[in-house]
Amino acid sequence: MDAPLRLVIFDVDGTLVDSQAVIVACMKTAFSEVGLAAPERADILGGVGLSLHMLMPLLAPNASAAAHEALSTAYKSAFMAHREETGVAASSPLYPGALECLNALHDVPDVLLGVATGKSKRGLDKLLEAFDLAPKFVTQQVADFHPSKPHPAMILSALQETGVDAQHAVMVGDTSFDMDMAASAGVRSVGVTWGYHGRDRLGRATRTVDNFQALPDVLNEMWENKQ
């Protein structure tokens, strides 16, 4: 009997790439341009993964809706400017072992790879192009077309696009938003401990890993129903 198709859906920021420096710098620039005091670094990174329209009210709860929109626009502009100046690969480098892990999983015939990210399509396209990763991901879910995490829409769309059953899919991410999204979509999850939420916030993860080298074996154990 042929093995069923399996799907591994990756978050991006804090999971595949270390973008914390550029995110914090651009957020501070955005707040400065709008004339507001910048939030703390921990608060900024704690909200990574949310779409901007949900993140800005959390970072500036006393600001107006117009200010939140201005912050989002300023952040996008600052991010694009930084990316153009430094290059995508330099501003958002892959975590150690990420490329090797993706290559290994991509080489397994019955395993498909996907992305579910709070990035825009334009931002994701630029990132995947920089590392020549686009061909590896058969489904790419972005903030432009879905409600923000932890709504399950991104994962549900990925399942629909690939035809993979939920029981054979796993979400890999670094935040509680990723874990909650997976639970809401009825799929299992792997929390990575090198990202923007600490291990203590990954409580809903089915499993956790401390490095990319461990991920393939953990996935195999999960698919074999060894929790």
Catalytic site positions: 11, 13
CA 91 to chain centre: 16
